[in-house]
Amino acid sequence: MKLAVERLKDVAEAFHYRISRDWWGKGFADLEASGVRLDGEPEFEVRARALGEKVYIEGEFEGFLEAECGRCTKRYRHALRDSFRLVLEPLGSDRRPADPEGMEALERSGMCLGEDLETGWYRGGEIELDALFSEVISLEIPLQPLCGEECAGLCPVCGSIRSEENCNCEDINPASPFAALASLRGKREGSS
């Protein structure tokens, strides 16, 4: 997914990119292995322009994942949505990334993202947007997928999904996390 810098004008031009399953499989193989699957083909709507030597990129991302809830283990569809803004400066003697990985990214794809994902550098007449897209997607993937904030999870006694059925099992959690210590104290005092 490339952007021709040399063709950009000072008025923003719109570009549309669709994430294929092959691209997803290569970049997010570890996520696939954990059971999170791509649902459909996520899309990026990008607007880009050049003002002087700087390149301004902004846009929106939208897609869906199929994931397993971390509380009730039910499979559900998780929406991914984000917007982004990026200003790229041309590589120069006074403008360059400080880290070697940044220089390698410039060599490989013509673009290096800064630390804050709002700035970066470019080199040459064409930049590869894959690193930007991967970063935007990565920031939207939940660390602990939840089918809903109100999800009550599984019953620790019978394993039923609490938000779907009322199992009437007695709560096995003590009223206080120190209840076990209180029972030990009682045993100790009884033996003296």
DSSP for 29-62 reads: HHHHHTT-EEEEEEEEEEEEEEETTEEEEEEEEE
pLDDT of 98 reads 67
Q: Are residues 129 and 84 in the same domain?
A: yes
Instruction: Answer yes or no: is 146 within a domain.
Output: no
pLDDT of 191 reads 61
Q: Are residues 175 and 114 in the same domain?
A: no
Instruction: Answer yes or no: is 145 within a domain.
Output: no
pLDDT of 29 reads 84
The number of domains in the chain is 2
Instruction: Answer yes or no: is 79 within a domain.
Output: yes
Instruction: Answer yes or no: is 147 within a domain.
Output: no
Q: Are residues 58 and 133 in the same domain?
A: yes
Q: Are residues 7 and 79 in the same domain?
A: yes
Q: Are residues 38 and 18 in the same domain?
A: yes
pLDDT of 11 reads 92
Q: Are residues 103 and 166 in the same domain?
A: no
Q: Are residues 135 and 65 in the same domain?
A: yes
pLDDT tens, the chain, 192 aa long:
888 888 999 999 999 999 888 888 888 888 887 888 889 889 999 999 999 889 999 999 999 999 999 999 999 999 999 999 999 988 875 666 667 777 777 778 888 887 777 888 888 888 999 888 988 998 898 888 999 989 989 888 888 888 888 888 876 666 677 766 776 776 666 665
Q: Are residues 126 and 157 in the same domain?
A: no
Q: Are residues 161 and 130 in the same domain?
A: no
Instruction: Answer yes or no: is 90 within a domain.
Output: yes
Q: Beta strand 37-51 with 54-68: parallel, antiparallel or unpaired?
A: antiparallel
Q: Are residues 136 and 158 in the same domain?
A: no
pLDDT of 190 reads 61
Instruction: Answer yes or no: is 180 within a domain.
Output: yes
Q: Are residues 69 and 136 in the same domain?
A: yes
The residue type of 186 is G
Domain limits for position 127? 2-140
**Residues in contact with 137: Cβ distance below 8 Å, sequence separation at least 6, in sequence order:** 19, 28, 42, 61, 63, 80
pLDDT of 28 reads 85
pLDDT of 102 reads 74
Contact 121, 95 (CB under 8 A): yes
Q: Are residues 41 and 61 in the same domain?
A: yes
pLDDT of 172 reads 65
Instruction: Answer yes or no: is 16 within a domain.
Output: yes
Instruction: Answer yes or no: is 82 within a domain.
Output: yes
